[in-house]
Amino acid sequence: MTCHAVARPREEALGTSYRTIAVVGPPNSGKTTLFNRLTRLRQKVGNFPGVTVEHHTGYVRDSEGHEVALIDLPGVYSLTPKSEDEKVAVDVLTGQMPGTPHPDAVIVVLNSTNLHSHLVLAGRVIALGLPTLVLLNMADELRKQGGHVDVLSLARQLGTPVALVSATTGEGIVAVQNFLSSATASPEPLELPVVGSTRGYREWAVKVGTNAKYRRPATPVWTQRLDSIFLHRTWGAIIFGVVVVGVFQTIFAIGQPLSNLLQHFLDVSGSQIGNHLPQGMFSSLIVNGVWKGTGSVLVFLPQILLLFLVIGILEDSGYLSRAAVIADRTMSRVGLNGKSFIPLLSAYACAVPAIMATRTIESKRDRIATILIAPFMTCSARLPVYTMVIAAFLPNRPVLGVFLGTRALAMLGLYVLGFLMAVFTARLLKSSILKSKDAPFILEMPPYRWPTLVSLGLRLVDRGKAFLYRAGTVIMLVSLLLWAATNFPMHRGQPPAVQDSVVAWVGHAIEPAIRPLGFDWKIGVGLLTSIAAREVIIATLGTLNGIDPQSHAVDLQAALKHELTPAGAVALLVFFAFAMQCMSTVAVVRRETNGWKWPVLQFGYMTVVAYVAAFAAYNIVGHFIH
């Protein structure tokens, strides 16, 4: 799905007002805050065709009530189309982006506390010849820290309107309204010196800034003070540890129970709905198909929203960059950078919010690599499966007194197994298809700021919507397919027992393929149904054996012991550690990478790894234990 910035055709007759305006600015210029302030909830998220770059289109009204579309372009420092972000910005600004109309005007958002660097971008944009408004953002910080700039002089030199604004306080924002109504007067940009190189542009920018009596503000004292603690040799590491545990606990100890509660509520309401419907296929479709499908989408929301709340606070306050600096040394060992740390940590709770969290990683290659290894982290959906299999096959004996038993040790081993495979995969990727030689780790440290509620709230709405619309549809579709597979063929209008359904046929069909791993067709069916969510295999095995897994867990363990040899059990654990049987993860990877290429590659890779490893485990363990 592509998002069309302006749905209605341009009426040339009117021609007096701007219809599409591109908003461009460097990272850390407060561009998004400004965009949010102007458009609030009137925003749409979309991906430009063929690239992973996401963009927002928002709507504002000019003084005559006409709707104007604002396209928020990715944060860029220059317009040399070297990175994907810059290419997108150039393509949109020159009207070469398919599905996006040629903008009528441009708003350039610059950080007024860093004018010498940011004016370079303004120069390049003005040189394009479109009507341009230059906004010098963060006016409040400029003033507070003793900075100064002569706006009129700057406007004279640039030949465009210039305004000092503050997106956080709303100061000067009226300039945007004035700009929208000034559309009739076509501004003539003054001639800029033709300077090709970055250095030439920079010299030009410094000259313009000096003429405008620009005085750079001092670095905020608080930023200095906080950094002397947060990046302190020992305190920095300790605080980092506390933050990391805090992030993890938030999703694990708060998000998980919330998800469970929501799941419980959805189950109960599902059976309530079922009671009010006549028995039969329709009721089953509604309750077990549609409602369950909706449920499997919704259960992710609490964790996604919580993680984005935490990451939002970390990012907006400026700590996320510091955390990345601290974690970088460790992450560099596997070829990633510090920004991958928090997403990978969140993957221990669930890969879905973790993959969404990778958008804080600026480097595209590092972001893809992080997405590809995240599902190897032992997520919470694997735990019930691990617990059941380990409990069935491994008697609990103390290894280190009361602290560590054999079962806990086995569990720990599985965590380490997933982690090591993630490291191996990261190294593999970064030394082959995702080499990032020309994109080294360079990270700007923004000053510390208070996160604002509006900004946090809008981010949550934005992420929630993106997940529900774009990933939710895929999850829903697969849920319905799985429902159909377990409910057909019908017998006299009644759904069949699982062993007679389509999914059982498929289970039988794949049995020759999974035999070498020590699995029979029942496990095969479990592997298929666990695509909905990993822990579903327990319910499936319960149904196939006629045992309620909740009330008769021990019986199910006994049945499992009948079905699998100890070697087969090890193979099953290994398979679960490595395989990507989670449709939600696949759906969210597709959504975040804007295509099927990466999720298909990832699914294929992880399945092959899981198969080979399970095969090896079955044969090696089978050699020693009979």
Partner 1 sequence: MIFNFIFGRRKKQRKHRASALADLQLGESAILGDMELALPVAEHLMNLGFVPGLEVTVARSSPGGDPRVYRVEGIEVAMRRDLSRHIHVELLGAPAFGD
Site of interaction with partner 1 (CB under 8 A): 26, 77-78, 80, 82, 113-114, 116-117, 120, 198-199, 202, 216-219, 224, 227-228, 231-234, 236-237, 240-241, 321, 324-333, 338, 419, 423, 437-445
Q: Which is nearer to partner 1, 76 or 527 (CB)?
A: 76
CB 224, min distance to partner 1, A:
8
Select 239 or 588, whichever has its Cβ closest to partner 1: 239
420 alpha carbon, distance to own chain's centre: 23
Strand segments (E) across 95-242: 105-111, 132-137, 162-164
- Rounded Cα–Cα distance for residues 58 and 11 (Å): 20
- Least distance (Å) from partner 1 to the CB of residue 438? 5
| Torsion on CA atoms 305, 166, 129, 190, rounded to nearest 10 | -170
We find the least distance from the C-beta atom of residue 227 to partner 1, in angstroms, to be 6
Please state the length of the chain. Answer: 626
Give the residue with the Cβ less far from partner 1, 115 or 525. Answer: 115
Encoded tokens for 91: 């393509």
Decide the pairing of beta strands 404-405 and 398-400: antiparallel
- Which residue lies nearer to partner 1 by CB, 190 or 245? 245
> How near is the Cβ of 443 to partner 1 at its closest, in Å?
4
Pairing of the two strands 162-164 and 132-137:
parallel
Q: How far is the CB of 291 from partner 1 (least distance, A)?
A: 40
In the bound complex, what is the minimum distance in angstroms from residue 91's beta carbon to partner 1? 18
Q: Nearer Cβ to partner 1, position 232 or 515?
A: 232
Long-range contacts of 146-150 (CB under 8 A, 24+ apart): 146/215, 146/217, 146/218, 147/112, 147/113, 147/214, 147/215, 147/216, 147/217, 147/218, 148/213, 148/214, 148/215, 149/112, 149/115, 149/209, 149/212, 149/213, 149/214, 149/215, 150/212, 150/213, 150/214
Closer to partner 1 at the Cβ: 261 or 412?
412
Q: Least separation, in Å, of the C-beta of 77 and partner 1?
A: 4
Listing DSSP states for 477-512 in one string gives HHHHHHHHHHH-S-BTTBPPPGGGSHHHHHHHHHHH
CB closer to partner 1, 120 vs 606 = 120
Q: Are 463 and 305 in contact (CB under 8 A)?
A: yes
Q: Which is closer to partner 1, CB of 61 or CB of 199?
A: 199
To partner 1, the closest distance from the beta carbon of 220 in angstroms equals: 10
Q: Which residues contact 117 (CB under 8 A, 6 or more apart)?
A: 26, 77, 202, 205
